[in-house]
Amino acid sequence: MTSTPAPGSPAWWLRRTASPTAPRRGRGRPSLDTDHMVATALRLIDEHGVHAFSLRTLADALGSSTATLYRHFANKDEILALTVDLALGEAGTVPPAAPAGWRDVLSTMGHQVRAVLTRHPSLLPTLMDHVPVGPNALAQRERVLAALLRHGLQPALAARAFTAVGHYVIGFAVQQRESDGAPLADYYRDLDPTTHPAIAATAESLTAVTPDDEFAFGLGLLLEGLARQKDASP
C-alpha cells in the first residue's frame, strides 16, 4: 500500500521533481504549457486576490476547462505551491555578488524576499500555509546557507538564521498588511485610553516611523542577536 503524499509536502515535491512530467529546461522540448498555466495563475492571484482564484477562473483565462487542469496538476494546492515558487524565483540571486559578510548575506536575502512579497502581496496566505520547498525555494536556501557557511557561521546557527530571517520577513508583511483600508496602528491609537492606556500610549510611537525604517530596524535587531550568539560560541 503506497501512501500518496499530500501536495505541498516535502514528499510530494520529491515525487514531482523526480517525475518526467516536471518541467525540463535547457534540453528537450520545454513544457511551456505548464509554465504558462502557472504564470497565468500568478497573474490572476495578483490581480484579483487568492480569495477570488478558482480553477474555473483559471480554466477560463486559459481558454480551457477545469478537467484539463487535472491533466497537468494533481490538484489546486499543487498549482498554488507552484505559483509561490515561481514568485520566489523573482527574488534574484541571493547572496549578492560580493557580500561583505554573513550579515550582508542575510540582509540582502531579507530585502529580496520582502520585495517579492511587496510585488505579490496576495501570495502571503499561501506562503504562510506551507514552508516553501519548491525548486526555487530550495535553490535559494542552498545559496544562502552555502554563503553563511563560507563566512564562518556554524551549521546549526546558519540554519536557524535562515529560518529566523524568513519568519521575520513574513511576520513583518502580516503586520504591515492593512485591514479595512486603515493600518492596525490607527485602530490601536483610537482605543479607549482609560481601558487600554498602554496600547494607546505605544500606538502613538508606532506611526512615527516609515515601514521601510521599521523593517530595517527589526532586521538589524535580529542580526545583532545572531552576532551575539556567534561570538558566544564560535
Partner DNA sequence: ACCTGAACACCGTTCAAGT
**Cα(100)–Cα(49) distance, integer angstroms:** 38
Which of 86, 88, 105, 158 forms a contact with a second copy (CB under 8 A)? 158
Q: Which region holds residue 65: left if phi is over 0, alpha if psi is between -120 and 50, else beta? A: beta
Three cell numbers, residue 164: 529566523
Distance CA 83, CA 45 (A): 9
Which of 41, 45, 55, 226 binds DNA (CB under 7 A)? It is 55
Which own/partner pairs from 55-61 qualify as long-range (CB within 8 Å, at least 24 positions apart)? Answer: 55/79
Q: What type of residue sits at position 98?
A: A
- Distance CA(39)–CA(189), nearest Å, equals 41
Q: Which does 47 bind (CB under 5 to 8 A by kind): DNA, a second copy, none?
A: none
Residues 107 to 136 in contact with a second copy, rule: CB under 8 A: 125, 128-131, 133
68 contact choice in a second copy, DNA, none (CB below 5 to 8 Å, kind-dependent): DNA
11: contact with a second copy by CB under 8 A: yes
Nearest distance from C-beta of residue 26 to DNA, angstroms: 22
Distance CA 135, CA 24 (A): 12
* 32 or 128: CB nearest a second copy: 128
The single residue among 12, 13, 53, 162 that binds DNA, judged by CB under 7 A, is 53
CB nearer to a second copy: pick between 20 and 192: 192
Instruction: Give the length of the chain.
Output: 234
Phi, then psi, of 183 in degrees rounded to 5: -60, 155
CB 108 within 8 A of CB 96: yes
Q: Does 5 bind a second copy (CB under 8 A)?
A: yes
| Partner touching 75 among DNA, a second copy, none, CB below 5 to 8 Å by kind | DNA
Q: Are 75 and 7 in contact (CB under 8 A)?
A: yes
Interacting residues with a second copy between 182 and 211 (CB under 8 A): 182, 184, 186-187, 191, 195-199, 201-206, 208-209
* Residue 102 and residue 111 in contact, taking contact as beta carbons nearer than 8 Å: no
- What residues make contact with a second copy under the rule CB under 8 A? 5-6, 8-12, 14, 125, 128-131, 133, 138, 141-142, 145-146, 148-149, 154-156, 158-160, 162-164, 167-168, 170-172, 174-175, 179-180, 182, 184, 186-187, 191, 195-199, 201-206, 208-209, 214, 217-218, 221-222, 224-226, 228-229
